[in-house]
A and B are shown apart, each in its own frame.
Chain A
């Protein structure tokens, strides 16, 4: 304690400017307080010192030197014996002043408290404009470079990208409103957008993101609850921001004042925290028993029995089930969670899926038609403010319609997962194994067309897990494992994709045996040196099967090649994670919907092409030095430390490129299997979600092209099939 005081008084701080010293001092004060929690006057003084320090740190002090003197006096008075302390404070009554501070006189005393009060009120408001005035005042001199159109363009791109993650995260919050990491993930983009908008003088965007940021900050701090209406507000704000960004993109200047529509919305956001929000009434609960029956944990007959027992024992149904040893606490808690979730789900209407598909198609056309109108040169030329505003409004509405329609096609993956329960049970019984199936994230939503498409691959993989992965109970016991094997299937939405994992705790994949088999089947040769990952990937080779026995369930060679093909047809990826002896996991990554892809639009010569973003690792420009050619290997590019082949897209599409030199053009880095490749295009035009259109049966087999899409200006762009291009390249270079 003594030493702490010594350190405090003997000049830890150099002056009011010394933030490092102030920090040190604040830490010592914290320590002091924790040691000396009882003495009130000391605590009060510490509080006072903190207040002044805060003022100094935030540069809100009207007279730093005076504050500095006051702190010094307060600190040295802290060292006085506690007896005198008490006396001193009782003399001055409510106002607590230390012995040393009296030397400052009455005026100072009052002044101190006056400014302390102001500090939390008007003063904060006063100092703020001063700071920002300083900013904008000097801005003009530099605005030449900050109005850099390229910077603005990049900002629009980046902001849009971040806004799309907001939507995804918001939808996640809808199912789990208390997920702070998700709130943070939504908060961050608004925060960053606001920051940049401040630099670029984009008033409306700045204001709007600022208000939403405040709202989310409240949610982050637990002051505001994340309710449906809050989620709605954030989503609407996201749409408005997108509209504003698009306006900028079309050459708008970012008004100095908010438009009436934005103003109205701002008011709504500001008042949000103040108005009490009443949530809708409580709908009917589904009985836990019913949920457990559906999951195959209970059967219909035992439900009334347990209900009886729970009544007579004065216990809840779930507790009774656990007591009877029928279900684990984990299973019951999951059922309870589902029960809660169901309360939140709204009522539904059945709709013919063809109608739904038609609607989605027509909305796609609507969006395209709208873009055609808005990008019409006549409209773009128009200077009419009202027209501009109305266009923005139209844009926002169509975006919302599109979002709603797409969400109408989404169904939880739960039904598909639940079919697997039966499958695992049947397979285990036939093969004399004991297997339990656990599920995670079964509420994740996926396009209903996708649901049907992933059913087959899922069945294949579950079959493989039970048949090849999980050992017999005797083998498991011998390996020191629980005789019952476990398979976990989980689904999670990650951006515009869904990740489905199938994990088992069986024997895992045996890299050595896979290698032997591959040699035996002539898939690889002795000379091929493959790392473990490459060896594991061999199981995706057509006609590969390590299991010697032909079993009733798996058959021979119901290979992973079929699964991989199927997933690739869905524009997805599959990866293996293996712990030999401990189990294996297969990770599928699939787009949420087949109808739309997130694409990078690039220019090659006179045409635009779309590269699916899922295939892209990065896009970059390189220096002249990074490009070189090697005899027999053709053109290569060095990106950081890796060297990769250069594929000239214009050669494949017979375009006359703007740039023949790779350092002039744009390089798209893609990964296929173990290798990276650089695709050369001319430039990036933009990033956009596009509705995929089939090219018809005539062009179905066109190598390197997977479809077409109509862009905003009504022209068609072809979607590049990256995998196809790479195999064309590999064939040509052989």
Chain B
């Protein structure tokens, strides 16, 4: 599927960060971009909307990215969802936990459109 036909869900509690990720995704020709402010809000979106890719931050109030990932993988409907975790250099080690929980891939902040594209190529069939 071409990026422009895919629906991406950005999950981050920081509005500015969501806008940055949105900009970078736009650069890669993504057009359908939805935002959620934490894991719980993301689950609500996933319940009602068909999403093709989740780009989620790790540390959020109410429900973290890891908890969201586990919910997604535990759901029959969503378990194959491409799920990209955004992490900080200092918290990179935690990614092993996310890998165990079947994260599709991860990306370290700050990242560029090129790095993101590289990661997406690994997890989203085009």
> Footprint of B on A, CB under 8 Å?
17, 19-20, 22-24, 26-27, 30, 53-54, 57-58, 128, 131-132, 134-135, 138-139, 142, 145-146, 151, 154-155, 158-159, 162, 185, 187-188, 191-196, 198-199, 210, 213-214, 217
B76 CB to closest chain A CB (Å) equals 17
Do B102 and A188 touch across chains, with their CB atoms under 8 A apart?
no
Do B99 and A57 touch across chains, with their CB atoms under 8 A apart?
yes
A-side contacts of B2, CB under 8 Å: none
Inter-chain CA distance A278–B50, complex, in Å, is 56
Q: Which residue of A lies closest to B61 (CB)?
A: A188
Inter-chain CA distance A199–B12, complex, in Å, is 15
How many residues on B have C-beta within 8 angstroms of the other chain's C-beta atoms?
39
Inter-chain CA distance A23–B90, complex, in Å, is 21
The listed residue (B23, B103, B104, B122) touching A146 by CB distance below 8 A is B23
Q: Rank and list the top 4 A-B pairs by shortest CB-CB distance, nearest first.
A: A198-B110, A192-B14, A155-B16, A23-B99
B-side contacts of A132, CB under 8 Å: 89, 110
B-side contacts of A53, CB under 8 Å: 96
Do B110 and A199 touch across chains, with their CB atoms under 8 A apart?
yes
Do A192 and B17 touch across chains, with their CB atoms under 8 A apart?
yes
B-side contacts of A23, CB under 8 Å: 99-103
B-side contacts of A139, CB under 8 Å: 112
B-side contacts of A24, CB under 8 Å: 102
Do A57 and B59 touch across chains, with their CB atoms under 8 A apart?
no
Do B89 and A131 touch across chains, with their CB atoms under 8 A apart?
yes
B-side contacts of A128, CB under 8 Å: 89
A-side contacts of B110, CB under 8 Å: 132, 135, 195, 198-199
The listed residue (A134, A145, A155, A192) touching B23 by CB distance below 8 A is A145
B52 in the interface, Cβ–Cβ < 8 Å?
no
Given contacts A17-B122, A19-B105, A142-B27, contact A57 B16 (CB under 8 A): no
Inter-chain CA distance A584–B65, complex, in Å, is 37
B93 in the interface, Cβ–Cβ < 8 Å?
yes
8 additional contacts (CB under 8 A) given A58-B95, A191-B59, A195-B109:
A20-B104, A30-B100, A57-B99, A132-B110, A151-B19, A192-B13, A193-B14, A210-B90
What would be 10 A-B contacts, judged by CB atoms less than 8 Å apart? A20-B104, A23-B103, A26-B96, A26-B100, A53-B96, A138-B114, A151-B16, A188-B60, A195-B109, A195-B110
Do B100 and A27 touch across chains, with their CB atoms under 8 A apart?
yes
Do A188 and B13 touch across chains, with their CB atoms under 8 A apart?
yes
Q: Provide the B106-126 mask, 1 if CB < 8 A to any CB of A, else 0.
A: 101111111100000010000
Do A196 and B14 touch across chains, with their CB atoms under 8 A apart?
yes
Most chain A C-beta atoms within 10 Å of own C-beta, residue among B57, B59, B93: B59
Do A158 and B14 touch across chains, with their CB atoms under 8 A apart?
yes
Inter-chain CA distance A19–B16, complex, in Å, is 29
The listed residue (A58, A134, A135, A191) touching B93 by CB distance below 8 A is A58
B-side contacts of A195, CB under 8 Å: 14, 17, 57, 88, 109-110
B64 CB to closest chain A CB (Å) equals 10
Do A134 and B90 touch across chains, with their CB atoms under 8 A apart?
no
Inter-chain CA distance A195–B13, complex, in Å, is 12
Inter-chain CA distance A142–B114, complex, in Å, is 11
B4 in the interface, Cβ–Cβ < 8 Å?
no
A209 CB to closest chain B CB (Å) equals 10
Inter-chain CA distance A185–B62, complex, in Å, is 10
A-side contacts of B105, CB under 8 Å: 19
A-side contacts of B61, CB under 8 Å: 185, 188
Do B99 and A22 touch across chains, with their CB atoms under 8 A apart?
yes
Do A57 and B114 touch across chains, with their CB atoms under 8 A apart?
no
Q: Which residue of B lies closest to A181 (CB)?
A: B61
A-side contacts of B109, CB under 8 Å: 195, 198-199
B27 CB to closest chain A CB (Å) equals 7
B-side contacts of A210, CB under 8 Å: 90
B79 CB to closest chain A CB (Å) equals 11
B-side contacts of A159, CB under 8 Å: 16
B12 CB to closest chain A CB (Å) equals 8
